Structure 1
Amino acid sequence: MAVVPLRAGAEHRLPAEVTSFIGRRRETTEARRLLSVARLVTITGVGGVGKSRLALRVALDVRRAFPGGVCFVELADVDEPALIGQALADTHSIRIPPSQSPVDVLIEHLADRRMLIVLDNCEHLLEDCAVLADGLLRALPDLRILATSRQPLGIASEQTLELAPLPVSGAGPLTCSAESDAVRLFAERVAAVRPDFAVTEANLPVVLEICRRLDGLPLAIELAAVRLRALSVEQLLQRLDDRFRLLTTGSRAAPPRQRTLRALIDWSHDLCTAKERLLWQRACVFSDGFTLETAEEVCSGDGIGKAEVIDLITGLVEKSVLIREEGYHEARYRLLDTIRQYGRERLAESGEEAIWRRRHRDHYRDLARKAWERHFGPAQLDWHVRLHAEDGNLHKALEWSFAEPGEAETGLAMATHLLHHWIRYHPREGRGWLAQGLALCTAPTVLRARALWGCAWMSLMQGDEAPAAAMLAECREIAARTGSDYDLAYADLCSGMLAMSRGEAATAAVLYRKAADRCRRLGDHVGVALALIRLCLARSVQGRGEEAQALGEEAVAVCEAHGDVRYRAYALMVLGIEAWRRGELQRAAALQKQSLESNRVMDDYTGCGMNLEVLTWIAGSEERYARVARLLGILKSPPWSDDVSMVEFRWLRRHSRVCEAEAVKALGTKAFSAEVTRGARLAPDEAAGFVLELEAPEEPVPAASNGQVPPLTRRETEIARLVSRGLSNKEIASTLVISPRTAEGHVEHILDKLGFSSRTQIATWLNEQTRNGKA
């Protein structure tokens, strides 16, 4: 039991810091603030995240504010609840008579002192630490307590500070990531055992991946750093799949639970109840986290009742095993990769891994099917967002299906049901999954026909016409043999897309008309809308404006009748193209802006990019060449830039090239480039305002009235706060229900606007604004 004696008076004897303290500026500031307003502050977090180190740093920083002294009590080695009070008494050389309560004796000796007590590692004696802290705080009004625990003490006066792992990635150029706290810690700890080591541009990607794989956990990073005495960074990374065997060389002077990574997680495991351990290992089948509803469905049964899941999740969150995050209308939970790997080993040892992997796959198979059935209509956005949040779990379910004997057809059906998700977010990846399933499922079934035209669609999105044509030919053959009008309709639709990409508008129009007619007979409203949108564009290209106008309006009506937003936006887009071709520039711009606003609501930046291109043509027709140049600049920057679009639209991009050439000629190369650069530097919200030609932008106002910090917009302020919490771009995207590309664009513009080069600088700046009352 390690205790640090505190002598009378204002002398403070705290453990000396023997290694450098990296990062944690925001958390240190917040802990100090909480101590100024609360009498009990508990730093919580997963094992190895640095709670004790932060508590020590805070105690050192605030010691002058406590003339009665500061004492640090390490409880990790205290096994008996009765010894907690004695451990604290020992710091003051107080003898507690057997007949007296430790709390009463401590109250008598500590009366009238303004002092701080640090209770380190309370989690295994939680209730007794809570009773001691409550008793002392009630009797000693000038006392403050700073506790560390994997779980809050749970008393009324407590304020908690949840400590997250160190941020790993920086923003902007890759080399800026070398400034991230996790990389700095790794570099300094490696230099202690290998003085010649330095993070370079060559090894930075490997170092970053090591830190990511270790979740930014300081103790895990420090244990890994020691291994570089014998290994290269590449060898270390290769062996992290077996990290519990690898990371076993901690300091001999450290407590036993901190000498190896396994011992660290064992400590957390031992604190859990039997059912919490069971849920922990079952939850390891998830990848990108999960919701309560999903856990109830996948993890219940065989020892865990469905109604028990909510309490078990709450317990695991409180013990810092599960991390709670804000999702879309509901909380999500995830395991750090190290925690997941530990649980996965336990699950494998139980012999039940295949059972729970199948349960996981079945859940996401059903989710994919429901999404397929509901992707057209008022619930479209909800389903898009839900599937996007489940990307990792969908991949894991597909991997299992294609690897498990006898499950390939289920995997192919699942990949096919996710077609609209792939088209929206991941066409290359979706094509890969469908191709994998098609290679395994070669029988000429309806399922294969459906997968063939879906794979052909995504091949066309990538400009691969030859494989698309071959797949569509096979699809037609199977659909004719099986009598599937549905698949013949979509073979016609995709064949029309192929013809249009080749510039054969007349052929495309015939195929689109056949597809629309088949879909009407089948009652497939989304097929009708998709065919009409494309038929409108084909007729417009042919110069048959009146027919194109009627077709576009019919597509809008179909979408509105079913409450659909996304495809209505595309119908408005093609109507806007036809209006531009007629010279109705004002109407064309209005239609594109209306479409753009819907695409932004749907977070569809592929659609947004097409809107911007058409608005560029319109500006060119109006001879507004500075606007042309700035729109082209916006198109080059995230999140607007995208190399995927409607297949048929690529054929029309010659208009963009003509527009650009005319703008360069009118403005001159230098002025044109300056406007392009100005457009590329606009933040997403500012870019949208420019594109939509809104009135003068809002002037920044004090944060008290709208929550923004000058010179940032409201959204940028919100994102800056998430950056300062250590969230990655992907985590910011999940929290705010935006695409990772949108989050990346916001972060890059914040850095550019503030003149910073790293995310750490954003966090530091925001903390200063907070202290000055501006945030």
Structure 2
Amino acid sequence: MSAHGANGTRPHLRRGTSFGDESSLIGRRRQLAEAKRMLRHSRLVTLTGVGGVGKTKLAMGVADETRRAFPDGVWLVELGALEEEGLLPQTVATALGLRDQSARHPTDMLCDHLRDARSLMILDNCEHILDGCAALTDRLLRAAPRLCVLVTSRQPLGVDGESVLSVPALAVPEPHRTLRPAEAGHYASVRLLQRRAAEASPDFTLGAENLETVVRLCRRLDGIPLAIELAAAQLRTLTPQELLRRLDERLELSPAQTTADLPRHETLRSSIDWSFDLCSPGEQRLWARLSVFAGSCGLEAAEAVCSGDGIPEERIFDLVAGLVDKSVLIREEQGTQVRYRLLETIRQYGAERLADAGEKPALQRRHRDWYLQLVDRAEAEWLSPRQETWLARLQSEHANIRTALEFCLSEPGQTQAGLKIAASLWFHWLCSGLISEGRHWLGRALALAPQDTVARGKALWVDGWLSVLRGDTASALPRLEECRALALRLHDASTLVHATQYLGGRALYEGDFRQAIGLLAEAVEGHRAAGDRNGLMTALYQLTLACAMSGDPRAADVGKECLDLCNEAHAPWSRSYALWALGLHLWRQGEPSRAAELLRDALNARRVVGDGWGIALCMEALAWTAASAGEAERGARLLGAAEVVWRSIGISQSGFRHLAAGHEGAEIRLRTDLGDRRYAAAVRRGAKMGLDRAADWALYGSSASTPWAPREAAAGQ
């Protein structure tokens, strides 16, 4: 199977703004060549070295120059912000574009996905979860014989067959040697400082008047790239002579000494201390406070979490700009958004400063409170035109959401907030293909908070529904029954109607349409009475589907109400599910062409958000309509393409009883029309098309040059 992501995108190497320019690899040609040589002879190469020495940038350079050898993808898995080792497989799966929606362990899904793939995977910053990285890497390499893994870590993994390349500091001029300006460029540390100094201060030039000072700076910084970059950023405001004097004072070394007298990690620590001292008091405080964020953050989050107690909110922007100028913060553009990130070494330093100031507990609570409010806003605005925006926002904030949840579940008295966050993210777990991780957090929170609360009730029905969506209806039943009993004890109508709805949803997925229709109809009226639009939309969708699959003609009216609600809310993702259910109704009514029109409209919307589950459903149903319309070759190809998508999310449609009859009927008809040999060949062709091409083919017909244009859908069509 080709290692394509479930969202249909071609595998690619993620790049941050700190990567990708030639100066990132100054002085690394020898190590670059050696790492490439190692990868040709070893499937596991680990780049080791002290913090700040440039392991990540070297790994990115290796990936850039070897990507042609890995046609199935080059993947960067950033692990610096990962706090819980148990989530390592899910993190890798997400980085590879996999939608983890099955009941299988994510490691098993990764093994299957990579089994035949010639791919390169970069595991970046592994030292804090070394055992987990070693175990997962060993398992993947055994399961996938053409996979190669490139690791960055301060120490080796210790896995059989591992090749280790120690990344040294950049070359510095020898002590007591007098250099001419033309000779200084032979030393990588000088070239890097010169390049970064010119970027910080365009008037900077390296000449006879400052050469000795620059050389001494490079020696003092021991050739450590991060230390050099931090120092060079100060040349916006200081001269090289002032920089050297301040650094000498910080390191407390005599002119006759060099940093060779210090371990390199102490040199880096001292240079970061020195950079911290050069910041204003406000910048120092903000640097420390920003360390509570995992990965990156936006300006709005920084203002909300880091202001107060000496930093007015209106000052945050100027302080952020100052830290960017000093190369402490990295500015990254993600679409139309700007986010800010601390390099992991810099973040760890800031976290120490925050703890020393006694501010860590308060900032962690403020961080948690901000993300609790963010999740509440996202859920409240879910049925709206902002669905795609919220999905993208939550995906970019995923590392911070994990950090907030970990705080809730590890600090006494905070578990109820953890229940609220994990449960309110139901649509994020579903749409982002993170069902396994959602159940992980819900399971931990429910185990820690057994008290009867409304928050527990919501967590129970969300966990039960996620179990159903993984095809694990057996595990869902006790959760949903407990939710119903709790709702009755609390006399909480909202929890009760949700328990009723998802018990109905479970019956639907079990193929018990009669029971499903009764429970879902009751839930629809309950949500309608409460004015709960989110609940009403999902219950109407499920009721439409139950009616459609059982041949109940009420599907048309119920589906029209669901579609009207989504259209009024301008909610594209929700609308796609209403269209899918209505499409199945029309197919069951013997109108495959009109059904296919609605299904293509639904598929188009789901591709936009990369909804692997929804794409699989649409491809599957389009195969059924093609079979019913006598388009046998097309139908068989679509079944083959659908099977690829089902496997990419770790699910077999055969596990869902409500879909079984449609799939089996289509397969029988297609085999009859084509014969076993032609049918098998068409299925193989569909599987080989790749998701992008198959989806285009499903949308536009046999020729992508004639785009399909959806017309306005209505329930009466």
TM-score normalised per structure 2: 0.64
Contact preservation (8 Å) 2:593, 2:629: no
Asked whether 1:525 is paired with 2:541, we answer no
Distance in 2, Cα, partners of 1:167 & 1:53: 9
Asked whether 1:693 is paired with 2:700, we answer yes
Match of 1:166 among 60, 70, 87: 60
Which segment is superposed worse, 503-512 or 427-436? 427-436
Q: Secondary structure at the residue paired with 1:573?
A: helix
Distance in 1, Cα, partners of 2:695 & 2:437: 29
Q: Which residue of 1 aligns with 2:583?
A: 576
Alignment of 1:403-418 (within 5 A): 403-418=410-425
What does the per-residue CA deviation read over 1:638-683, in whole Å, with 9 as the maximum and x for residues that have no partner? 6994346999964213422343354345445554444334333435
Contact preservation (8 Å) 2:517, 2:543: yes
Q: Which residue of 2 aligns with 1:322?
A: 329
Change (3 A) 1:342 1:633: farther
Q: Which residue of 2 aligns with 1:141?
A: none
Distance in 2, Cα, partners of 1:671 & 1:381: 40
Change (3 A) 1:286 1:638: farther
Q: Which residue of 1 aligns with 2:351?
A: 344
Contact preservation (8 Å) 2:457, 2:487: yes
Asked whether 1:492 is paired with 2:500, we answer yes
* Larger relative contact order (CA 8 Å, sep ≥ 6): 2
What does the per-residue CA deviation read over 1:740-765, in whole Å, with 9 as the maximum and x for residues that have no partner? xxxxxxxxxxxxxxxxxxxxxxxxxx
What does the per-residue CA deviation read over 1:299-347, in whole Å, with 9 as the maximum and x for residues that have no partner? 2233433233223322333333332222243111222333323333333
What does the per-residue CA deviation read over 1:171-222, in whole Å, with 9 as the maximum and x for residues that have no partner? 5277855698999xxxxxxxxxxxxxxxx956999994731xx5xxxxxxxx
Q: Which residue of 2 aligns with 1:260?
A: 264
Look up the equivalent residue of 2:585 and give its one-letter code: E
Change (3 A) 1:322 1:29: closer
Distance in 2, Cα, partners of 1:209 & 1:652: 41
Look up the equivalent residue of 1:692 and give its one-letter code: L
Distance in 1, Cα, partners of 2:121 & 2:394: 34
Match of 2:151 among 207, 210, 214: 210
Alignment of 1:172-321 (within 5 A): 172=72, 176=118, 201=141, 208=149, 210-211=151-152, 214=153, 224=154, 232=158, 255-257=219-221, 258=224, 260-264=264-268, 266-271=270-275, 272-274=278-280, 275-321=282-328
Q: Which residue of 1 aligns with 2:689?
A: 682
Change (3 A) 1:277 1:176: farther
Distance in 2, Cα, partners of 1:305 & 1:643: 48
Look up the equivalent residue of 1:255 and give its one-letter code: R
Change (3 A) 1:264 1:464: same
Change (3 A) 1:348 1:509: same
Change (3 A) 1:440 1:341: same
Look up the equivalent residue of 1:321 and give its one-letter code: V
Change (3 A) 1:500 1:435: same
Asked whether 1:428 is paired with 2:436, we answer yes
Q: Which residue of 2 aligns with 1:364?
A: 371
Which segment is superposed worse, 628-637 or 438-447? 628-637
Count of residue correspondences: 518
Look up the equivalent residue of 2:567 and give its one-letter code: E
Q: Residue 236 of structure 1: CA displacement?
A: 11
Q: Which runs of 5 or more residues in structure 2 are unaligned?
A: 1-14, 33-53, 74-113, 126-139, 175-217, 225-262, 707-717
Distance in 2, Cα, partners of 1:321 & 1:329: 23
Q: Which residue of 2 aligns with 1:734?
A: none
Q: Which residue of 1 aligns with 2:128?
A: none
Q: Residue 556 of structure 1: CA displacement?
A: 0.8
Distance in 1, Cα, partners of 2:148 & 2:313: 42
Contact preservation (8 Å) 1:288, 1:389: no
Change (3 A) 1:266 1:694: farther
Q: Which residue of 1 aligns with 2:662?
A: 655
Q: Residue 614 of structure 1: CA displacement?
A: 0.5
Q: Which residue of 2 aligns with 1:587?
A: 594
Contact preservation (8 Å) 2:286, 2:306: yes
Q: Residue 383 of structure 1: CA displacement?
A: 1.5
What does the per-residue CA deviation read over 1:18-63, in whole Å, with 9 as the maximum and x for residues that have no partner? xxxxxx9xx99976xxxxxxxxxxx5xxxxx544558999xxxxxx
Distance in 2, Cα, partners of 1:388 & 1:403: 23
Contact preservation (8 Å) 1:606, 1:640: no
What does the per-residue CA deviation read over 1:718-746, in whole Å, with 9 as the maximum and x for residues that have no partner? xxxxxxxxxxxxxxxxxxxxxxxxxxxxx
Look up the equivalent residue of 1:609 and give its one-letter code: A
Q: Residue 291 of structure 1: CA displacement?
A: 0.5
Distance in 2, Cα, partners of 1:28 & 1:561: 44
Q: Which residue of 1 aligns with 2:91?
A: none
Q: Secondary structure at the residue paired with 2:60?
A: coil
Q: Residue 378 of structure 1: CA displacement?
A: 1.8
Distance in 2, Cα, partners of 1:309 & 1:690: 50
Q: Which residue of 2 aligns with 1:768?
A: none
Change (3 A) 1:644 1:323: farther
Q: Residue 451 of structure 1: CA displacement?
A: 1.4
What does the per-residue CA deviation read over 1:60-85, in whole Å, with 9 as the maximum and x for residues that have no partner? xxxxxxxxxxxxxxxxxxxxxxxxxx
Q: Residue 269 of structure 1: CA displacement?
A: 5.0
Q: Secondary structure at the residue paired with 1:400?
A: helix
Asked whether 1:482 is paired with 2:490, we answer yes
Distance in 1, Cα, partners of 2:545 & 2:370: 39
Asked whether 1:607 is paired with 2:614, we answer yes
Q: Residue 385 of structure 1: CA displacement?
A: 1.5
Contact preservation (8 Å) 1:588, 1:618: yes
Distance in 2, Cα, partners of 1:619 & 1:376: 32
Change (3 A) 1:281 1:28: closer
Change (3 A) 1:542 1:371: same
What does the per-residue CA deviation read over 1:665-702, in whole Å, with 9 as the maximum and x for residues that have no partner? 54455544443343334354433220112574359xxx
Q: Which runs of 5 or more residues in structure 1 are unaligned?
A: 1-23, 32-42, 44-48, 58-149, 151-161, 184-199, 215-223, 238-245, 700-775
Distance in 2, Cα, partners of 1:575 & 1:561: 17
Distance in 2, Cα, partners of 1:552 & 1:668: 37
Contact preservation (8 Å) 2:615, 2:645: no
Contact preservation (8 Å) 2:124, 2:151: no
Q: Which residue of 2 aligns with 1:559?
A: 566
Q: Residue 626 of structure 1: CA displacement?
A: 1.9
Contact preservation (8 Å) 2:517, 2:546: yes
Asked whether 1:459 is paired with 2:459, we answer no
Distance in 2, Cα, partners of 1:415 & 1:698: 44
Contact preservation (8 Å) 1:610, 1:645: no
Contact preservation (8 Å) 2:121, 2:148: no
Distance in 2, Cα, partners of 1:533 & 1:620: 25
Look up the equivalent residue of 1:575 and give its one-letter code: L
Look up the equivalent residue of 1:534 and give its one-letter code: Q
Look up the equivalent residue of 1:372 and give its one-letter code: E
Look up the equivalent residue of 2:467 and give its one-letter code: S
Q: Which residue of 1 aligns with 2:457?
A: 449
CA RMSD, 1 decimal: 4.2
TM-score normalised per structure 1: 0.60
Contact preservation (8 Å) 1:287, 1:392: yes
% identity of equivalent residues: 34
Contact preservation (8 Å) 1:516, 1:528: yes
Distance in 1, Cα, partners of 2:610 & 2:26: 38
Change (3 A) 1:317 1:54: farther
Q: Secondary structure at the residue paired with 1:653?
A: helix
Contact preservation (8 Å) 2:372, 2:421: yes
